[in-house]
Structure 1
Amino acid sequence: MKTDEERLRDSQRAWIDEIVEKHGETYTSIARKAKLTPTTLTRFMNKEADANHNLSAKTEAKIRAVFSDVAIKRPELIRVSNLSHVPIVGVVQAGLWQSDFVLSEYTAAEFIEVTPDPRYPHFQRVAFRVQGDSMNLVYVPGTVVLAIRFYDLGRNPRTGEKVIAVRQSNGVEEATVKEIEIMPDGRVALWPRSTNPEYSQAIIVPDMSALAPFADDGGHPEVRIEALIVQSIRLE
């Protein structure tokens, strides 16, 4: 399949050939009348030389000024988009636990278009809107964050990563956004990053077993680190 550049080159060559046929000109005479050096067209029109450049807009304008009765037929350029449609599957509260948290892409009513992430080319991404100000040094309220589940990544979180943490209390799932720190004694600290002094304390999780699935009874608060934030999008 030809590229847009190749299709434009074909169109420009067909235009020059139409001028030759209609006016009885040669490539050299067209160039001279347009005040171009003869080789500008002879080289461009020499298909055997496999010219891989197109006529510039300035060169086109000079030719059109002399041969305005022959219109160039520009091809309809084919736009190829590699954007991915990532579902916005819920909201996460920066500071408090957000009880309206959802994590199923099948419930998404809104999508955001983003370019592929070369670091994670084969992983499903989901997006969330951030509310609250406990992470406003990193994510202002309204920021959309894109995340990949640690289950899919097949690894545990690492210190310094921004994560979505989820807890379950009496059968209800709630979520928040934090920066993670794996402490020397094995405990996990989930830190806010905020200008608000109210948010200065970390949430402490006993150990990395917090990554395990929730208990079936759902009868006590329990925290797991659900997803790694890999990208954020916000309006300036």
Structure 2
Amino acid sequence: MERHPSAAIIEQMMKAQNTNPKRLAKEAGVGPTYVRDIIEGRSLDPKTGKLTQIATALGCKLDDLLGKGSSITPVHTTQIEVRGDVQAGVWREAIEWPQADWYAITVPLDTAFAGLHRYGLLVKGDSMDKVFPDGSIAVVINLADLGRMPKTGEVVVAVHRSKTSDEFEATVKAVQVLESGEMILWPQSTNPDFATPLRIPAGACEHDAGMPDVFIQALVVASYRPKPMVSFG
């Protein structure tokens, strides 16, 4: 079937944006069957002005629909499970929820970490709000799967043994690695109450059971903000 060069691109972009020809036509301000006619090959010479309107409704330029110097890069996605929550910058027990409470979200697929298992943690509080506003989801990879230690500037989930119980507590902080091998874990907060870093000496002391009292559990590789909100005053 012969079709206009824009047909396949419009079809692909509609699928990525989870829309349909009738809805797109309404948003573009063209006739109710105009987009469908292009896709189905009934309109082989659509007007440039109307194609521009369709491009605007799709969030792109006319040249993108015509395949000329397209700036569109396909975004590949995957689903991950949000498995718990963590108090950014503050130690908190029990970061993982019961499995029945886990839920899935769709995120872009980062080829830099292809093949590595990722999961999400809901970030609470304002002690890392320069990076993760309250309610963000941090996408993480366990260091055991990553196979390397964090680098300066990266963000991690750190865990330590509680001083009041046998539980472990977790937090999210930014990493600075010194030449000595010592790591400094910094909050990134607009709140002055959260300004004290945590220092992990090189070769930190081992617990009697052989597990360090403080260790890095996971590297944060991305973040997602489900519903941005603002406040006034």
Name the TM-score class by shorter chain.
0.5 to 0.7
Match of 1:55 in 2: 44
1:124 corresponds, among 117, 127, 152, to: 117
1:5–1:184 Cα change, 3 Å: closer
Query: Match of 1:102, SS?
Result: coil
CA RMSD of aligned residues (A): 3.2
Aligned ranges for residues 17-28 of structure 1 at < 5 Å?
A: none
Provide the residue aligned with 1:232 in structure 2. Answer: 223
The 2-side partners of 1:85 and 1:175 are apart by: 24
Specify which of 127, 150, 170 is matched with residue 175 of structure 1. Answer: 170
Task: Tell me the alpha carbon deviations over residues 168-194 of structure 1, each in whole angstroms, 9 at most, x when there is no partner.
Answer: 223212110000111233221100011
Residues 77 and 107, structure 2, Cα contact 8 Å, conserved in 1: yes
1:38-81 deviation per Cα after TM superposition (whole angstroms, max 9, x unaligned): xxxxxxx9xxxxxxxx824459x9xxxxxxxxxxxxxxxxxxx9
Q: 1:86: which partner in 2?
A: 80
8 Å CA contact retained: 1:187, 1:206: yes
CA distance in 1, matches of 2:156, 2:182: 16
Distance 1:150 1:85, change over 3 A: same
Give CA deviations for 1:4-33 in whole Å, capped at 9, x if unaligned.
949x9xxxxxxxxxxxxxxxxxxxxxxxxx
CA-to-aligned-CA distance 1:66-102 (integer Å, 9 cap, x gap) = xxxxxxxxxxxxxxx9532201011011131121312
Q: Which moved more, 1:95-104 or 1:130-139?
A: 95-104
Match of 2:25 in 1: none
8 A Cα contact 1:163 1:178, kept in partner:
yes
Q: Assess, with a 3 A threshold, how the Cα gap between structure 1 residues 233 and 154 changes in structure 2: closer, same or farther.
A: same
The answer on 1:194 being equivalent to 2:183 is no
Pick closer, same or farther for the CA change 1:182–1:91 going to 2, 3 Å. Answer: same
More displaced stretch, 127-136 vs 181-190 = 181-190
Q: Determine helix, strand or coil for the equivalent of 2:117.
A: coil
User: Which of 127, 138, 144 in structure 1 is aligned with 2:131?
Assistant: 138
TM-score, structure 2 as length reference = 0.61
1:164–1:56: structure 2 CA closer, same or farther, 3 Å change rule?
Answer: farther
Match of 2:4 in 1: none
Cα distance change, pair 58–206 in 1 and its aligned pair in 2 (3 A): same
- Offset, 1:131: 0.7
Task: Tell me the distance in 2 between the aligned counterparts of 1:151 and 1:103.
Answer: 21
Mind listing any 5+ residue stretches in structure 2 that lack a counterpart?
1-6, 12-40, 51-74, 229-233
Alignment-derived partner of residue 213 in structure 2 = 222
Of 198, 207, 212, 2:202 maps to 207
- Mapped to 2, the partners of 1:132 and 1:5 lie a distance apart of 45
Runs in 1 of length 4+ with deviation above 3 angstroms?
Answer: 56-59, 214-218
Distance 1:120 1:217, change over 3 A: closer
User: Contact 1:128/1:145 (CA < 8 Å) preserved in 2?
Assistant: yes
**How many percent of aligned residue pairs carry the same amino acid?**
34
What SS does the aligned partner of 2:113 have? coil
What is the TM-score when the length of structure 1 is the normalising length? 0.60
**Highest CA radius of gyration, 1 or 2?**
1
Work out whether residues 89 and 107 of structure 1, in 8 Å CA contact, stay in contact via their aligned partners in 2. Answer: no
